[in-house]
Structure 1
């Protein structure tokens, strides 16, 4: 999840909770205020009726042009002592004039007279109050949605504006490639944290560039300094092997030493090649035809491994082209094919399928290899003469450097390597 989405999610949840709590509290506060106004009106009306009754004045008629209505009746002393002297409630009452039930706010008051206790029930229809409540609720919802949207949009604008230096830094990082030079990172932010981040990134990039140059120089020197003495040793051994005075035992030992040095030479070249690929020293990218490379190396390996009597089936359903360094493309194909020939069985089979988005190389086998280790350096399911254990590691490194997917699977007694763009 992006930082922007994560922040906005938390801000949205917090805003919704706070605004909801405010809306509920505000609504009930307004409704309580409305009820207080109605209750005060009923209380004043009830008080004037009680005073008029106690003073012996004539009680107003029910049809007095007012919304307030009342009725009065005698109650027992026990009733008066049991119930509160004044209470409010909302209920449906029958209105004689309209011949229907309507919601009303009711005040019940118990008071004492010379003859005993009486209960006065005063009520007023609350149709207007319900309309007012609905209106208040509607406006609160509209206000709630409006304020919430404004807050979210404001937070989005503030966040994007304040996090702009971070997005500039990320964009700069996406375009930066080690060893290809870089444009200094321009810092136009006054925020201390971003200033420190920009300085740290600049220092880190400069350090990486220096280390990269040192490593590239080391690889070049190592390649030259190690290959030369190895070649000299091999030449000397070959000269010794031409000596007719050597015994058969000595010849065998020299031949073994010669083979060991050749393996070391190949391993040294492969390790140096791995380092160069990982350091991005193969930057020359072009359109490469995989079909032609496979066709060329199938013929070559058929001649080299003719003694194993391997049957090769090549299926081309499409012309496959990849955007990569041509030397790396040759290494990718040749190492996969060499692996299929070298680790095949006598009279085995190699299946090569070329499609529009990739190709696969399968060879006969007896048991599955460990998929988690097969692309690691020096991993070999079974030791084969002439194998350095770096071929598949090279393949994986080339694929990774060019954003190409590679997958291994074992099915129907076939080791299959699938390369896809």
Structure 2
């Protein structure tokens, strides 16, 4: 009789483990490991499938891991990637599953706007769902603006006037660093879009040269701003903490940084946001969008647990868990806005009708990303026009060589 009781107890204890599936999500976003696992645990409770996050140390190691899986016809069932040219290359391997049916569900019940799928399409077919749908915006310290009597700028001239007032008060207007090696493109892309959106697009397909007059005008503007002392120390390796410490009043970054800066101690109620204004002569409001996708392999699409995990990610429960844990928005408008910043950006875009432009990192061919960013970083560390001329020449040589071989 005692043996029977013990056996029954063991069965009861073991039952949940067999009732729940586990699906691994591979990624290179180690700074979000805890937050990703919060979504995985939420899906275990709401959908009966636990997402287990599997981080890689950096983007290059991660790319090598995924590319090795592609080469051996055995990529992970579910993993994160990037949109743009590198996404097109991944889909071109034939080992990534189309997600037309999943998107039909996502838009059919009005969780997602139909246009949200566009960032994840190749030849009109969606191959990913959003891990993030981040707009690149200017976070700012409301306390500094209030102290100096400043308003959110709506024109470029107003932005420069705000920067001058901040500098005159003894503070640094803009935070900008070369931390982790990839950030050098941030101000380049923003200045390029604000001064010449057509040229901005042309850089991604080789039709505009990196030593052309529109690009030179951007470097001149960038250099002048640096000469006026508008930028923080580019050598810092503590960018988020620098913003919290007041080493820059305005922080140009993706919305995904909201959770990072508040977790680092920035008071949420003192955090403001505006979309960068255009320079004179550029009429249409615009915003840069970073759409980080989650994809499934063809093998993953045939696995019931993997598809259940993917559907949980884009569900209201999944979006709310991710938003609460990380502050990230994935485009699910039926879920709660993850924070006041995202809600404000949503409202500003709805009111302004901003055109969406793909982030430079995703738009440029993957083979050019690293070397060009290294050149941009070189300019950040020595923002003179002499350096700019050298940077433009080197970048255009790389650009010309790539497009000549791509013909």
Q: Same fold (TM over 0.5)?
A: no
TM-score, length-normalised on structure 2? 0.20
Q: Which has the larger radius of gyration?
A: 1
Higher relative contact order (CA 8 A, sep 6+): 2
Whichever structure has more strand as a proportion of its residues is 1
- Give the alignment's TM-score, normalised by structure 1: 0.19
